[in-house]
Structure 1
Amino acid sequence: MTDPEEEVQRVLEAIDALVESGPPLDRAKRSAEVMTAVQTRMRRARRQAVQELKDGGMTLREIAAELGISFGRVRQILADDPDKPAPE
């Protein structure tokens, strides 16, 4: 199994390769496409993981403490619709 930090580095390098070459307009368009796709997938993954913690018996306050975020933020994550575009 691959080290999670190595996986993150490989993903970032792949993103860099996508957005570092070509004319500025092309780079801007590719960057926007990548950003939207990554945000949607990460929002979905985060929501699913937090939901699994809750379904596993953790309280929202326990989840918040473990993640180092506020109780209110945990509630927002659970209420998030990952398929709705993120605000710009």
Structure 2
Amino acid sequence: MAEDEEVQRVLNAIDALGEHGDAAERAKRLTALLDELPGRQSRARELRQQAVQELQAEGMTLRAIGDLLGISFGRVRQIAAGVTNPRTQKPAAE
């Protein structure tokens, strides 16, 4: 899957944090990034879930969404349901 220009800019910015300045400056910047990543990763998951749910609401099937995103039907179903780690997710009570 080709990377979106915005995604590539973010990846390039991350790479740049470790390329400029002395070692102490780089370490401080990278520490700040790593401190923020868990929360940002959770936010990115939430935004992806919302987008998948919007596609469903527009009438797309989970299989069609999977084809669009290049992921499996099962993974799309998990994303739509908010499952972030299927290995640790407990089944819903019936």
- TM-score over 0.5 (shorter chain): yes
Structure 2 Cα separation of the partners of residues 71 and 8 of structure 1: 24
Task: Look up the match of 1:8.
Answer: 7
- Unaligned 5+ segments in structure 1 are none
Structure 1 Cα separation of the partners of residues 50 and 60 of structure 2: 14
Pick closer, same or farther for the CA change 1:34–1:13 going to 2, 3 Å. farther
Task: Look up the match of 2:82.
Answer: 80
Alpha-carbon deviation of 1:34?
Answer: 2.5
Structure 2 Cα separation of the partners of residues 9 and 63 of structure 1: 22
Pick closer, same or farther for the CA change 1:33–1:81 going to 2, 3 Å. farther
Alpha-carbon deviation of 1:43?
Answer: 0.5
Q: Deviations over 1:29-62 (max 9, x none)?
A: 4233222132112101111110000000011111
Task: Look up the match of 1:41.
Answer: 43
SS of equivalent to 1:22? helix
AA matched with 2:57? D
Greater relative contact order: 1 or 2 (C-alpha under 8 angstroms, separation 6 or more)?
A: 1
Structure 1 Cα separation of the partners of residues 69 and 7 of structure 2: 19
Trace 1:41-80 onto structure 2 (pairs within 5 A): 41-80=43-82
Task: Look up the match of 2:92.
Answer: none
- Give the % identical residues: 53
Query: Over aligned residues, Cα RMSD in angstroms?
Result: 3.0
Pick closer, same or farther for the CA change 1:8–1:60 going to 2, 3 Å. closer
Specify the structure having the higher radius of gyration (Cα): 2
- Unaligned 5+ segments in structure 2 are 89-94
Instruction: Kindly tell me the number of residue pairs found equivalent between the two proteins.
Output: 78
